[in-house]
């Protein structure tokens, strides 16, 4: 009891320090409707768009993507703290004819992982956990727990099969197999995962029966299970639910008032590749690997907090963005580009920060990437190539 009380006191003090730091350094207002820049006027987040001089051709390029039914969602481009372009495209709900707005929230899927990794680094800074400790401390019944470290989970080098994408390798429990067979067409939604707290028991039950794909730290293999387990560890050591921890120590200090793990009725709906059919899915099953909902403004606030060193120490940040096989902690890192992509039923997302140019690109989409593999990653690449002068003038109508 005393240990738990002391931990809560430490976390409270840490939260206060982060709040003070963010107030001094962040130039993005906490309001859901207003973005503030030091050198520009206030911009209404409910406005139709933000297009600074010199970015009109970028608007034409993306308008063309929408007209060809290749794009639906929101985009933000920023130069340092200054938002130079932001626009919403298509419908948040095509059936109800509700249009996307700049403030519309989307499922960001695997972009959640950078938040989970940051939470882990906060706990490391408080000496509550160590990246070199093995996970048998938290999962004593796991036969490979004494081989796998926290760092292995963060860097996708654990050897554990993916509970989302490698069902045949991960789901070894016979009762689970029966459920999967019964609900094969919607295994992770509806009756199977009405409560993802219950499903964590299923995850661990199957984890304890799985075999490793390779010895820990010998290879890289992108795996959602790693970050699911990190979420459970965050809960155990903090004494808080994953969503409550994020709210208190990530979202509040970062002034992300429009972000949560819990979906809202006003969120954008996922759509099929033809943009007409609404996909109804329970994304909470992805948990610490992909359950966050957010909008472009909150993701920009987050980007500035993270990359300016206002949410964790510079030392922790540098460790986070030091890649092994192009992956750091919850972030892909290649050359000067740091970011992540996310894909889940009806949604794709991509966040990108160019550390050399201090440039942020955020793309959130609510359409399945089935049209020639066009998704948030594709449109991020298109925007970057345009900004870097790699898109020919003739490509813009």
Give the CATH number for residue 273. Answer: 3.40.710.10
* Cα separation, 309 vs 313, whole angstroms: 6
Which residues pair with residue 347 across a beta bridge? Answer: 344
Q: Is residue 275 part of a domain?
A: yes
Q: In 3D, which of 75, 145, 162 has the Cα closest to residue 110?
A: 162
Which phi-psi region, left, alpha or beta, contains residue 326 (left: φ > 0; alpha: ψ -120 to 50)?
Answer: left
Q: Is residue 299 part of a domain?
A: yes
Q: Residue 210, Cβ neighbours under 10 Å: how many?
A: 21
Which residues pair with residue 107 across a beta bridge? Answer: 293
Q: How high is the pLDDT of residue 230?
A: 99
Q: How high is the pLDDT of residue 23?
A: 39
Q: How high is the pLDDT of residue 241?
A: 96
Q: How high is the pLDDT of residue 102?
A: 97
Helix, strand or coil, per DSSP, at residue 76: strand
* Cα separation, 211 vs 208, whole angstroms: 8
Domain extent at residue 54: 2-111+245-395
Burial zone of 370 (CB within 10 Å; 0-12 exposed, 13-18 middle, 19+ buried) = exposed
* Cα separation, 270 vs 93, whole angstroms: 8
DSSP assigned state of 248? I
Q: Is residue 77 part of a domain?
A: yes
Q: Is residue 270 part of a domain?
A: yes
Q: Is residue 76 part of a domain?
A: yes
Tell me if 324 sits within 8 A of 332, measured CB to CB.
no
Residues 127, 131, 134, 135: is their CA dihedral positive or negative? positive
Q: How high is the pLDDT of residue 194?
A: 42
Q: In 3D, which of 104, 64, 112, 59 has the Cα closest to residue 86?
A: 59
Along the 397 residues of the chain, how does pLDDT read in single tens digits? 444 444 444 444 444 444 444 433 323 444 444 444 433 334 445 567 999 999 999 999 999 988 877 789 999 999 999 999 999 999 999 989 999 999 999 999 999 999 999 999 999 999 999 999 999 999 999 999 999 999 999 999 999 999 988 888 998 888 777 766 665 555 444 444 444 344 788 899 999 999 999 999 999 999 999 999 999 999 999 999 999 999 999 999 999 999 999 888 889 999 877 666 677 666 777 999 999 999 999 999 999 999 999 999 999 999 999 999 999 999 999 999 999 999 998 899 999 999 999 999 999 999 887 655 679 999 999 999 999 998 765 555 4
Tell me if 34 sits within 8 A of 313, measured CB to CB.
no
End-to-end CA distance of the chain: 66
Tell me if 85 sits within 8 A of 59, measured CB to CB.
yes
* Cα separation, 79 vs 122, whole angstroms: 28
Helix, strand or coil, per DSSP, at residue 157: coil
* Cα separation, 391 vs 395, whole angstroms: 7
* Cα separation, 225 vs 290, whole angstroms: 11
Q: Is residue 257 part of a domain?
A: yes
DSSP assigned state of 82? E
Q: What is the 3-state secondary structure (H, E, C) of 16-66?
A: HHHHHHHHHHCCCCCCCCEECCCCCCCEECCCCEEECCCCHHHHHHHHHHH
Which phi-psi region, left, alpha or beta, contains residue 41 (left: φ > 0; alpha: ψ -120 to 50)?
Answer: beta
Tell me if 88 sits within 8 A of 329, measured CB to CB.
no
Q: Is residue 144 part of a domain?
A: no
pTM exceeding the 0.75 threshold for the entire prediction: yes
Q: Is residue 166 part of a domain?
A: no
Q: Residue 356, Cβ neighbours under 10 Å: how many?
A: 8
CA angle 112, 118, 120 (to 5 degrees): 110
Q: How high is the pLDDT of residue 262?
A: 86
CA angle 341, 98, 243 (to 5 degrees): 45
Q: Quote the crossing angle between the two packed helices 174-182 and 196-207, to the nearest 10°.
A: 130
> What is the count of structural domains for the chain?
1
* b/e code 246-281 from CB counts within 10 Å (16+ = b): bbbbbbbbbbbbbbbbebeeebbbbbeeebeebbeb
* Cα separation, 183 vs 188, whole angstroms: 8
Give residues with Cβ within 8 angstroms of 23, minimum separation 6.
none
* Cα separation, 365 vs 270, whole angstroms: 8
């Amino acid at each position: 009891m005393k240990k738990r009380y002391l931990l809560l006191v430490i976390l409270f003090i840490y939260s206060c320090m982060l709040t003070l730091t963010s107030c001094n350094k962040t130039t993005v207002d906490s309001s859901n409707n207003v973005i503030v820049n030091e050198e520009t006027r206030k911009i209404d987040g409910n406005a139709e768009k933000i297009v600074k001089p010199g970015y009109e051709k970028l608007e034409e390029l993306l308008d063309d993507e929408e007209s060809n039914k290749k794009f639906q969602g929101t985009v933000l481009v920023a130069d340092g703290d200054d938002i130079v372009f932001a626009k919403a495209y298509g419908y948040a709900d095509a059936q109800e004819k509700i249009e996307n707005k700049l403030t519309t929230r989307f499922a960001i899927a695997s972009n959640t992982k950078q938040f989970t990794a940051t939470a882990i680094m906060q706990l490391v800074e408080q000496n509550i956990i160590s990246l070199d400790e093995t996970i048998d401390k938290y999962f004593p019944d796991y036969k490979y727990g004494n081989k796998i470290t926290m760092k292995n989970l963060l860097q996708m080098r654990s050897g554990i099969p993916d509970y989302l994408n490698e069902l045949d390798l991960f789901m070894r429990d016979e009762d689970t197999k029966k459920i999967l067979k019964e609900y094969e067409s919607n295994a992770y939604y509806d009756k199977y995962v009405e409560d993802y707290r219950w499903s964590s028991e299923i995850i661990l039950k199957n984890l304890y029966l799985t075999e490793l794909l390779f010895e820990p730290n010998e290879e890289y293999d992108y795996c959602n299970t790693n970050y699911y387990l990190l979420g459970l560890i965050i809960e155990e050591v903090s004494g808080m639910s994953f969503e409550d921890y994020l709210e208190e120590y990530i979202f509040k200090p970062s002034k992300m008032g429009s972000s949560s793990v819990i979906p809202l009725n006003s969120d954008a709906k996922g759509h099929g590749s033809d943009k007409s059919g609404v996909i109804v899915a329970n994304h909470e099953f992805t948990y610490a690997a992909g359950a966050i909902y957010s909008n472009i403004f909150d993701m920009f606030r987050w980007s500035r907090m993270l990359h300016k060193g206002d949410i964790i120490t510079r030392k922790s940040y540098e460790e986070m963005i030091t890649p092994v096989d192009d992956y750091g902690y919850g972030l892909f890192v290649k050359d000067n580009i740091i970011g992540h992509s996310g894909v889940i039923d009806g949604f794709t997302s991509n966040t990108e920060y160019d550390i050399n140019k201090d440039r942020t690109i955020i793309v959130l989409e609510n359409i399945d990437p089935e049209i020639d593999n066009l998704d948030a990653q594709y449109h991020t690449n298109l925007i970057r190539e345009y900004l870097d002068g790699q898109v020919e003038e003739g490509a813009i109508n």
